Structure 1
Amino acid sequence: MLEGGTINMLDLSGEQVSEWLRSFDTVLSDGDGTIWQDDTAIEGAAAVLNALQNQFGKRVYLITNNGLKTRRELFERAQRLGFQVPNDQHIISPTATIVDHLKQLPDFDSTKHKVFVVGNAAIGRELQANGIDSYGAGEEEPLPMGEKWQDFALREFTKPEAADNVGAVVVGWDEHFSYCKMARASHILCRNGSSAFLVTNRDAVHKYPALCIPGTAAFVAGIEACAGREALEMGKPSPVVLEPLIQSGALRPERTLMIGDCPKIDIAFARNCGMQSLLVGTGSYQLDILQQNGSLPQPDLYLPRLGDLLQFL
């Protein structure tokens, strides 16, 4: 296999690329910024992933930190944009990982436990589709005008149902984040030591880095500070995301390629899991920026865009 620092694949020969293609069996590809931008496919990305799957026999999975859509919704987007992933089990998303994780927890019983969600409605839809009751997802809960926090706390948290039988608190990106939601989550986590505490991802800035919109990391940090507990991350770069595939034997990290556009998330994820990595420049990080900042996780390989790989296939 190729050795050294980050290699620009455009500098490689066809023989070197062929050798590289033989070094992995499975491909994990990030979504936003790597193969699509919102509902528009990045030119050439679908053709590359489809070729790796259909012509070279690679198992292809799409992996995203997007907690604003369910696994099924992301699969439908992929199909609509021309990505020929076999089924929605080839979509790895925080909402689906949350469900998978809750199902294997010995202390969580979906017949009697519910989940409190500080996050968007997609989390609630994913839980409901898998037979798990939840509340709070996508809802507003402001402190009523003229009411003091003491009034809210006495009214809500003196009720047993405010914390009893709540088996998990899940935090995701939430445009309706409020003091009341943070207080409710903190109360549950402090009262129920056995309740799970999960976060979709720890992205510091949500989706539009140039605009500095607070990401999920900002929301979960406040709750962690209050509850004195650390949330378990259900998105990249946490290795927890891949546990089901590794345990089933569907994926061997040492024979897997991770493709992404963000060094701090995608390349760090590859490093944490022992996978090869390919960074594409269709996000916020091009090769010159990467080389100027040695503190960033460095990928094995770089391409200006994933579609540039077509010339070698």
Structure 2
Amino acid sequence: MPARKVPHILKLSPQEQKEFVNSFDVVMCDCDGVMWMATSPIPRTGEAVNALKAAGKQVHFVSNNSMRSEEEYVNKFTEIGMMDFEANDIMHPVKSMLYYMKKHNIKQPVYSLCSGPGNETLRRGGVDVRTLTVKEGVDFFNLEKITEPEQKMGAVLFDGNLEMNYVQVAMAVRYLADNDCDFLMGATEPVFQLREGLMFPGLNDFYYAIKRSTGREATIVGKPALLLGDILKDVYKLTDPKRCLFVGDSLSHDVRFGLNCGFQTLLVLSGSTPIDEMWQASAEDQPHFYADSMADFIELYANISKNA
């Protein structure tokens, strides 16, 4: 389907701006590329969230980054000036895994390929997490002994972890030979973008290696999987998806996720997607609205107040 003209929220007519802000009660935002870029805050994003809250909107955050601790997220939101942020206001893949495991009574212990902070989140949630610490001197001839399963695992958990290595992945393959062992996956980003012009490869190839070796498909609980949408609707009591606005900087993970869930979608140009990419996308892959950044909400509400 040919691309369509996506409206910028600040170029709507005064009446359209009022209708837009009255069309949603809940805002869900990505973090990286929306609230900040790597370690650099995006200007006035905290102020923008405060404006949304002052207007009576519920604001939650949905990130594919579980490599930050709960405390780090709280500190980052505090540093950008956002008021009243609590750890329960954010959902990321490890927290989605935790929800899924409890809902489906996944047996424990579980074997985790998640990051250190992710594993700590799981343990705080009452999960018996097992990992493999790899010592130096590993070679192919003692790989079988090192990866010998000591007991059955209820699940293998795969998510962002910059310290993941081959032996840990090989251990996951051995556990997944047991068909009773579940397989959960969080983030699916093919690349990590730290800033404009600087990208690093994602961790998907580790997952594909496990999939090839085991023939097992993971249950994905990160964006853009529809299962995450069901989790969010349950956790945040979203009874009418059309009354939720999903804000993100990625067409493939944020906009596609929001569209799949029946949310309204808004693309911000402060992160990974240049405007030309949005215009070149087919109509079914485009957002409902776009903005330069979250800070545009500050001007939007000022316009509405002026025209009241």
Aligned positions of 1:68-79 closer than 5 A? 68-79=67-78
Work out whether 1:89 is the aligned partner of 2:88. yes
Change (3 A) 1:289 1:244: closer
Unaligned runs of 5+ in 1: none
The aligned amino acid for 1:20 is: F
Return the match for 1:170 from 157, 163, 177. 157
C-alpha distance in 2 between matches for 1:286 and 1:128: 39
Report what 2:256 is aligned to.
268
Report what 1:187 is aligned to.
174
Change (3 A) 1:74 1:22: same
C-alpha contact 1:66 1:94 (8 A) present in aligned 2: yes
C-alpha distance in 1 between matches for 2:133 and 2:163: 5
Q: Is the partner of 2:217 in helix, strand or coil? A: coil
- Residue 272 of structure 1 deviates from its aligned partner by 1.0
Report what 1:131 is aligned to.
126
Q: Percent identity?
A: 26
Give the alignment's TM-score, normalised by structure 2: 0.88
C-alpha distance in 2 between matches for 1:86 and 1:100: 21
Work out whether 1:152 is the aligned partner of 2:143. yes
Work out whether 1:284 is the aligned partner of 2:283. no
C-alpha contact 1:143 1:179 (8 A) present in aligned 2: no
- Residue 296 of structure 1 deviates from its aligned partner by 8.3
Q: Is the partner of 1:20 in helix, strand or coil? A: helix
Report what 2:59 is aligned to.
60
Report what 1:312 is aligned to.
300
* Aligned length, in residue pairs: 296
Aligned positions of 1:210-229 closer than 5 A? 210-229=197-216
C-alpha contact 1:206 1:216 (8 A) present in aligned 2: no
C-alpha distance in 2 between matches for 1:212 and 1:77: 22
The aligned amino acid for 2:260 is: N
C-alpha distance in 1 between matches for 2:162 and 2:33: 22
Work out whether 1:118 is the aligned partner of 2:105. no
Cα shift readout 1:65-116 (whole Å, capped 9, x = no counterpart): 112023453233212322224422111111211111111113x24xxx1121
C-alpha contact 1:261 1:280 (8 A) present in aligned 2: yes
Return the match for 1:247 from 211, 234, 237. 234
C-alpha contact 1:28 1:256 (8 A) present in aligned 2: yes
C-alpha distance in 1 between matches for 2:83 and 2:91: 15
Q: Which has the higher contact order (CA 8 A, sep 6+)?
A: 2
- Residue 233 of structure 1 deviates from its aligned partner by 1.5
The aligned amino acid for 1:28 is: M
C-alpha distance in 1 between matches for 2:136 and 2:63: 33
C-alpha contact 2:37 2:271 (8 A) present in aligned 1: no
C-alpha distance in 2 between matches for 1:233 and 1:142: 30
C-alpha distance in 2 between matches for 1:253 and 1:142: 49
Work out whether 1:197 is the aligned partner of 2:183. yes
Cα shift readout 1:291-312 (whole Å, capped 9, x = no counterpart): 1344882111111122122122
C-alpha contact 2:65 2:160 (8 A) present in aligned 1: no
- Residue 53 of structure 1 deviates from its aligned partner by 1.1
Change (3 A) 1:211 1:51: closer
Work out whether 1:30 is the aligned partner of 2:35. no
- Residue 155 of structure 1 deviates from its aligned partner by 4.9
Change (3 A) 1:84 1:218: farther
C-alpha distance in 2 between matches for 1:140 and 1:293: 44
C-alpha distance in 2 between matches for 1:51 and 1:309: 7
Unaligned runs of 5+ in 2: 302-308
C-alpha distance in 2 between matches for 1:33 and 1:212: 13
- Residue 234 of structure 1 deviates from its aligned partner by 2.0
C-alpha distance in 2 between matches for 1:248 and 1:32: 22
Please identify, of 77-86 and 122-131, the stretch whose mean Cα deviation from structure 2 is larger: 77-86
C-alpha distance in 2 between matches for 1:240 and 1:85: 28
